[in-house]
Structure 1
Amino acid sequence: MNAPAPAGAKVRAVVGLLVAFELVSGFLQGAAVPLVPQIQDWQGISTGQAQWFTTVQYLAAAISVPAFGRLGDLYGHRRLIRVALGSIALGTVLVACAPNLAVLLVGRALMGPLAALLPLEIGLVRDRLSVDGGRRAVGMLVGSLTLGTVLGHALAGPLLSLLGDLRATLVALAVLAVCCVALSFVAVPESRTRAGGRMDWSGAALLALALVLLLGTVSRGTAWGWLSAPTLGGLLLAAVLLTGWARLQLARPHALVDVRALARRHSAPYYASGFVLGGVMLGGQTVAVSFMAASPADEGYGFDLAPWQISLYGVVPNVMAFAGSALCAALAVKIGYRRLLLVAFALLAAGYAGQIVGHSALVPFAACGALVGVGAGFALGGLPTVIVERSATDRTASATAVYNNLKTLGGSVGGAAFSVALGSLVIGTTDTPALTAYLAIWTGAAVACALAVLAQLAFRGKESTPAEPAAAPVPAAARPAPPGP
């Protein structure tokens, strides 16, 4: 009789190509922003129109993530990973061949399931691995996504220079996506557990409408004016739709999202922490960059760094985030995930507070940015794991999808709030942000992260350990998948 494969080998066998998918996913997402100016010139579009190049993808993600998560729980995570990769590949091909803005935006919308890959992969590894193996796998996947994003952002420009043509660069990205589709049929195992019930299509449609309205309104709030009728009306209507959607979910036996589980005292703080993480991490991506570019002689603050210097210092938090997410599982074995998340948000709060104190000197400022990166990495690796382990076994992808959407929503709200601060707190009659704008942003970020720590302390539950079962038992209605790899 052959000896069983060691646990580490089993983790690698299950994760395998999923790591490659997340690297490519991060690369595609990270490469998008640096290419926007060239996209604008290529298509002959305005700056406002070019903004939709990135906006339309996260609007599509808001729609696709919860739907793909629930469909994966119902019909198999590998199957939906293949569907998501197919949509992404088609989207990248359309973007590379786009003859006009309309086709370009359709292609970007088809790339929305990039955000659905991670929830589906987490659902798969939780089903196929032990608790300890699943935790290590989640850390590897999150770390790969983070590393891919860093590489995409850093290498998009050099790739464009090497190929000498934007369309050739976009074709190269499309080739990566198409290769992922082919690889998904090679050595990716299928999950064995299926959720009971059926897909809540009307609930998915109502949630999609509410999220698109909310995120679309937030993204246009600065242009329309935050107190204008379109902005206030859009926010109010989105709130009404979300309230109606929540009531509908509570009344349905096979709802798209388990709203009751979302609101439980032992899981709600972690979903809320995901919202905070999105707000400070995604919403504040350009704040430190614009501060470092400011000139002390002109604005009275900043470091007057050249673009290459900003890239050098700006990559430090991303590298630290990758390191934090990669080390997350190993550290959690020693102190537990609940304590690790307390450390993560304490580091985030300390990092932002340190930027307030050390904003006048580059080295302390960069060191505090690195601290923020480590905290973000721990949070990125730890939050999905805790949320997954506190969800029902047949709701893994759905629960992770809700976390992803809350993180994205937090990024939109945080970005809008930071834009208001930068546009309102200005120097004299100019439109140049004053130092108080940056201090206000970092203060708000530090307070939000401190509140996340307090929420986790106030509603903490029993610390899970690798020896425990993954989570709630599979419901009687859940049906096994057909045998297979």
Structure 2
Amino acid sequence: MPQPPTAPHTGRVIATLALAGVTAAVMQTLVTPLLADLPTLLHTSSSNSAWVVTATLLVAGVCVPISGRLGDMVGKRRMLLACAVPLIIGSVVCALSDGVVAMIVGRGLQGIGMGMIPLGIALLRDVVPAEKLSSSIALVSASMGIGGGIGLPLSAAVAQYADWRFLFWGAAALAAAVAGMILAFVPDVPAGAKGQRFDFVGALGLAVGLVCLLLAVSKGADWGWGSATTVALFAGAAVVLAAWGWFEWRTTDPLVDLRTTVRPRVLLTNLASVFIGFGMYASMLVVPQLLQYPEATGYGLGQSMLAAGLWMLPGGLMMMVVSPLGGRLTNARGPKVTLVCGAVVLAAGYGVALLLAGTAPGLMVAAMVINSGVALAYGAMPALIMGAVPLAETGAANGFNTLMRSLGTSTGAAVVGVVLARMTTTAGGFTFTSESGFRTGLLLGGALALVSAAVAALIPAPRAERPVPTGTQGPATETAGAAASA
């Protein structure tokens, strides 16, 4: 196996992969400032325009684990470049679109590129020296939140003061720049699972099951949780995913090695990831709305979209500051301690939000604490996963962990959305979310963060490493020890 690159080249690799993660995250928040105007811009109904967001969610959910497995088989650098292509094309399609169908197609193409983040994290194990591995994993993992925190105010500013199409032209240019940096700076490391066959049946089964599940979760509130369509989708997801699990357990070279995912360290880390995802997304739904609600409600702060994004910007920047500290904590105490600390800090951030929700500076502080917890947790989860899986499965395992986080955020969006829609008050002939509704959403986020801390505390310690033949393992730390799986 090639030696890790020298220090100067390592810095370029880490910077490139972090920027790739930021770019993927920006794609997700890109349309947020446009949501209210999309029906007018695209000449369609509100229900149809909602698919602009849903399409990215569905495609990313399906493609992330598949791209991770392909990265193990054909090379992670090659798959990073493959993910950049639909990001560029999708952004151009969105920029040129005049109708909702073209916009949905473009957003779906952007969803294919979301695999950049788990691929980049998995590649770090192959190319970064042991002493830099934990901090680099933490930084690239936190890039998702950094991109969202920085991208929202930038998108709001462009949407408010320029043509909305510039958002997508800028996204295309950013994705093209990332592709160029990958070509220039990221080394081509031999694939760990080269020669294995691709599990097409498993990929199809996972795609069908996830589409049913994510559609039901994301559209259930609109269609009705008890409607025939929603119930049928949930039932279909249960049947298909159960059959998929049965097939994956018995096939050779599976898309996702379930024997690895049921190991306690991997299983509990993935379970904690679901709750962390829920806890993170609850604040992303509640805090911006509190900032933008009219002051006449008595609890809204009357900020514009741009002002709200600027109040939340320090939270995104905190992830950049805290992620290296998380890497140091992982080196000193192990990723389990870092994950527990991150979940506790996340829960504390919701406590700050409940106490200081009446002022914009108070919500800014709460967002900073919440995002600090997310940065710690997001940096620790890949370290735990990669310390418990063979080297040939790092891409697929990280893709599956990213999927678990996405399921958490999707569920959080659905549950908190129902709370905000049901707990309402009426004044002046208008019905809107009550103060108690927003507080309940914050309580839910904090409670699920504490649940994730409890789950993380149950993660067992790694077994002592067994000898590994020379040339079969990357940098030797807990985050890279393929033989230390539990």
* TM-score, scaled to structure 2: 0.88
Alpha-carbon contact 2:4-2:128 (below 8 Å) kept: no
2:434 maps to 1:434: yes
Per the alignment, residue 478 of structure 1 pairs with none
User: Aligned with 1:219: secondary structure?
Assistant: helix
Q: Distance in 2 between matches of 1:328 and 1:200?
A: 36
Q: Distance in 2 between matches of 1:225 and 1:454?
A: 33
Q: Distance in 2 between matches of 1:320 and 1:149?
A: 12
> Residue type matched to 1:81 in 2?
L
Alpha-carbon contact 1:142-1:326 (below 8 Å) kept: no
Q: Distance in 2 between matches of 1:435 and 1:322?
A: 32
* TM-score, scaled to structure 1: 0.88
Alpha-carbon contact 2:150-2:313 (below 8 Å) kept: no
Alpha-carbon contact 2:20-2:117 (below 8 Å) kept: no
Shift of 1:200: 0.6
Shift of 1:427: 2.4
Per the alignment, residue 402 of structure 2 pairs with 404
Q: How does 1:191-210 map onto structure 2 within 5 Å?
A: 191-195=189-193, 197-210=196-209
Shift of 1:250: 0.8
Residues 139, 211 of structure 1: alpha-carbon distance in 2 compared, 3 angstrom cutoff: same
Per the alignment, residue 256 of structure 2 pairs with 257
> Residue type matched to 1:85 in 2?
A
User: Aligned with 1:132: secondary structure?
Assistant: helix
Shift of 1:312: 3.2
Shift of 1:15: 2.8
Alpha-carbon contact 2:387-2:484 (below 8 Å) kept: no
2:288 maps to 1:272: no
Residues 366, 42 of structure 1: alpha-carbon distance in 2 compared, 3 angstrom cutoff: closer
Alpha-carbon contact 1:257-1:398 (below 8 Å) kept: yes
Per the alignment, residue 29 of structure 2 pairs with 30
Alpha-carbon contact 2:462-2:484 (below 8 Å) kept: no
Alpha-carbon contact 1:98-1:104 (below 8 Å) kept: yes
Shift of 1:145: 4.0
Shift of 1:119: 1.3
Shift of 1:56: 0.4
**Structure 2: which 5+ runs fail to align?**
466-474
Q: Distance in 2 between matches of 1:460 and 1:433?
A: 42
Aligned partner (choices 410, 413, 436) of residue 411 of structure 2: 413
Alpha-carbon contact 1:284-1:415 (below 8 Å) kept: no
Q: Distance in 1 between matches of 2:484 and 2:266?
A: 19
Per the alignment, residue 229 of structure 1 pairs with 228
Per the alignment, residue 80 of structure 2 pairs with 81
Residues 412, 392 of structure 1: alpha-carbon distance in 2 compared, 3 angstrom cutoff: same
Residues 280, 28 of structure 1: alpha-carbon distance in 2 compared, 3 angstrom cutoff: same
> Residue type matched to 1:158 in 2?
A
Q: Distance in 2 between matches of 1:474 and 1:339?
A: 17
Q: How does 1:362-377 map onto structure 2 within 5 Å?
A: 363-377=361-375
Alpha-carbon contact 1:261-1:391 (below 8 Å) kept: yes
Per the alignment, residue 424 of structure 1 pairs with 422
Per the alignment, residue 471 of structure 2 pairs with none
Alpha-carbon contact 1:138-1:385 (below 8 Å) kept: yes
Alpha-carbon contact 1:321-1:374 (below 8 Å) kept: yes
Per the alignment, residue 480 of structure 1 pairs with none
> Residue type matched to 2:334 in 1?
G
> Residue type matched to 2:481 in 1?
A
CA RMSD of aligned residues (A): 2.8
User: Aligned with 1:194: secondary structure?
Assistant: coil
2:97 maps to 1:98: yes
Q: Distance in 2 between matches of 1:246 and 1:368?
A: 40
Per the alignment, residue 461 of structure 1 pairs with 461
> Residue type matched to 1:293 in 2?
Q
Shift of 1:39: 4.5
Identity %: 24
Per the alignment, residue 481 of structure 2 pairs with 471
Aligned partner (choices 340, 344, 347) of residue 346 of structure 1: 344
Residues 183, 253 of structure 1: alpha-carbon distance in 2 compared, 3 angstrom cutoff: same
Q: Distance in 2 between matches of 1:202 and 1:457?
A: 36
User: Aligned with 1:155: secondary structure?
Assistant: helix
Aligned pair count reads 470
- Runs (4+) of structure 1 moved beyond 6 Å? 463-466
> Residue type matched to 2:135 in 1?
R
> Residue type matched to 1:391 in 2?
V
Residues 277, 123 of structure 1: alpha-carbon distance in 2 compared, 3 angstrom cutoff: same
Q: Distance in 1 between matches of 2:463 and 2:345?
A: 20
Shift of 1:71: 0.6
> Residue type matched to 2:29 in 1?
G
Per the alignment, residue 479 of structure 1 pairs with none
Shift of 1:305: 4.1
> Residue type matched to 2:482 in 1?
A
Q: Distance in 1 between matches of 2:166 and 2:439?
A: 42
Alpha-carbon contact 2:223-2:229 (below 8 Å) kept: yes
Q: How does 1:299-338 map onto structure 2 within 5 Å?
A: 300-338=298-336
- Segment of structure 1 superposing worse, 344-353 or 164-173: 164-173
Residues 295, 47 of structure 1: alpha-carbon distance in 2 compared, 3 angstrom cutoff: same
Q: Distance in 1 between matches of 2:92 and 2:303?
A: 37
Per the alignment, residue 214 of structure 1 pairs with 213
> Residue type matched to 1:409 in 2?
L
Alpha-carbon contact 1:270-1:387 (below 8 Å) kept: yes
Residues 312, 261 of structure 1: alpha-carbon distance in 2 compared, 3 angstrom cutoff: same
Residues 82, 464 of structure 1: alpha-carbon distance in 2 compared, 3 angstrom cutoff: farther
**Structure 1: which 5+ runs fail to align?**
476-485
Q: Distance in 1 between matches of 2:358 and 2:379?
A: 32
Residues 159, 84 of structure 1: alpha-carbon distance in 2 compared, 3 angstrom cutoff: same
